[in-house]
Amino acid sequence: MNEEKLPQPVEPISWMGRVVIYAALLLVLLVAFVPMWVEFREWSSSVSQADYYLSVARIAYDQEV
């Protein structure tokens, strides 16, 4: 009566289960990436606008001198 209990084998994840897991991981990455991308685009736009105004100011200053 002193039988050792062997561990039960783990059932492999089905094909559909893997697709669901990969889709969930992709969704999490997109949810994390999209706001950063939007913020970067806004920041890049403001930097481009500041660069434009700086160029205009330099041209105006050079013409005055």
Q: What is the pLDDT of residues 18-64, one digit of tens each?
A: 999 999 999 999 998 988 988 999 999 999 999 999 999 999 888 76
Structural domain span for residue 57: 34-65
Residues 6+ apart with CB under 8 A from 13: 21
Identify the pLDDT of residue 62: 83
In a domain, 43, yes or no: yes
pTM: 0.48
Is residue 4 a part of any domain in this protein? no
Q: Other C-beta atoms within 10 Å of 28: how many? A: 10
What total of structural domains would you count in the chain? 1
60 within domain boundaries? yes
Q: For residue 21, what are the contacts with CB-CB under 8 A and spacing of at least 6?
A: 13
Question: Has residue 2 got a pLDDT over 70?
Answer: no
